[in-house]
Amino acid sequence: MRIYKVILALLLAAALPATAAQAEGYRQGHCGEFTVAMIPDTQSYVDYRHQAWSGFPFDAIEQFYAQMWWVATNARSSGGDIVFATHVGDVWQHYSEWMDPAHAARGFKWMPNGGSETAMSPKVQTRAFEIPAAVQAFKLIADKLPFSVVAGNHDYDALWTDPAHPPRPERKVGVRHLGGLTGFQSAFSNTSSFFAGRSWYVDSRDGGPDSAQVFTAGQCHFLHIGLQYHAPDASLNWATAVIARYPGVPTIVTTHDYLGRDGKRNMTSNPLNSALDPLDNDPEKIWEKFLSAHDQIFLVLSGHVSGQSFSIDTNRAGNPVYQIMADYQERNRTAIDAGVDGPTGDGWLRLLKFRLDTAHPKIEVRTYSTHYGKFAAEIPEYGAWYKAREKQGHLSDEDFLRRDEFTIDLRDFHRRFGAPVGASVR
């Protein structure tokens, strides 16, 4: 009888579509309800100008610490249901060099940037305060749960304007480029105490700006891949090799710049590295070369653009890829309450609650402020506070709220990855 069951199982697996057969091993039983914490751009908290010692009314970094403490206390290891956290990049605000040595060696030229204070010149405070302060924030979750952090454009060492594309009346800041990740590597390298020796940290490239993690929920396991800003071909090739080691495992990808507020892939970013450097990929190329090519990638998370959006695209296998963007760096009610008008973030983060053990799997997306201790739907003034500032003033308060509190119907999930016992697959 036992041999018969083994033979029957092999025959059934052979009869399944390839993706389902590969994915069969991801689920050994029920997943249980669980949450993935999505931590949007934290640069406004870490900005050295937003601290009391710089003359600001309060220490904005405390809001970042409060966020990470909240994630830690609601982790599965602390009795909560958060099993994984992913930071979408732009951990800090300022640059520390005019140009990195690697791009200088390749023959790139630079001229000073115009535009915002952030881009006007390198800052010594980046390495003296902003990076160490960010490290302290991540120490709050370091032993609580698996996590990822990717390099956003503000996390690079250098930002410069290409002399061949200087500022003009129609483009006031010229065309910029980024380079150098020594600051990021000093905080989040693969050999840092955050990741060295962690069984869930399964791979990395470029010293840590690209990385891969596995996490479990109940009797199910998942793969997460983090890609640096405008990931070059080398990053995409590395990520492809990681996926090959975990065939069929449901995969989440986080990268900093991907969607705009309209839910389309963002092609207006400045700097847009791929406009100057053939080694780098814009969001559309990342979709074409990597995301759409691997059917086990079902969810893509990003930030970068102040506001939020959600969209669904169909991959090459004909299955949906769910894409979420959230960035709350420009929110400023805490600053206004303190008598100033600067962006301080207000403690908002995204919580993705997965319910996969039913016949109709779904993700419930909610937005929570650790400063106010409330979800977006619990604040009557939510739309009035934020929609105009995030360039969405044309929306009603209700429509604006629906961009932060909604449900994703994972109608294809059981068919692609396997269903729990007793759940029907349609």
pLDDT over threshold 90, residue 426: no
Q: Is 422 part of any domain?
A: no
pLDDT at 165: 87
pLDDT at 5 over 90: no
Residues pairing with 221 in the sheet: 216
Four-residue CA torsion sign, 137, 140, 141, 143: positive
In a domain, residue 424? The reply is no
**pLDDT score at 29:** 87
Residue 423: inside a domain, yes or no? Answer: no
Percent of the chain with pLDDT over 70: 92
Residue 424: its pLDDT value, please?
52
- Residue 274 pLDDT > 60: yes
> Do residues 76 and 34 make contact, with C-beta atoms less than 8 angstroms apart?
yes
Inside any domain, residue 161: yes
pLDDT of residue 270: 65
What value does the mean pLDDT take over residues 44-64?
97
What is the pLDDT averaged over residues 117-123?
90
Q: Which of 10-14, 144-148, 173-177, 365-369 has the lowest mean pLDDT?
A: 10-14
Residue 426 lies inside a defined structural domain of this protein: no
Give the per-residue pLDDT at 7. 31
Q: Between vectors from CA 357 to CA 354 and to CA 362, what angle results, nearest 5°?
A: 40
Domain hosting residue 65, numbered range: 2-417
The total of structural domains in the chain comes to 1
At residue 423, the pLDDT reads: 57
Closest Cα partner for 410 from 351, 366, 354, 350? 354
Per the domain annotation, does 276 fall within a domain? Answer: yes
Residue 355 lies in a domain: yes
Q: Assess if residue 48 is contained within a domain.
A: yes
The yes-or-no verdict on residue 401 having pLDDT over 70 is yes
pTM: 0.92
Q: What is the mean pLDDT of residues 217-231?
A: 96
Residue 248 maps to which CATH number?
3.60.21.10
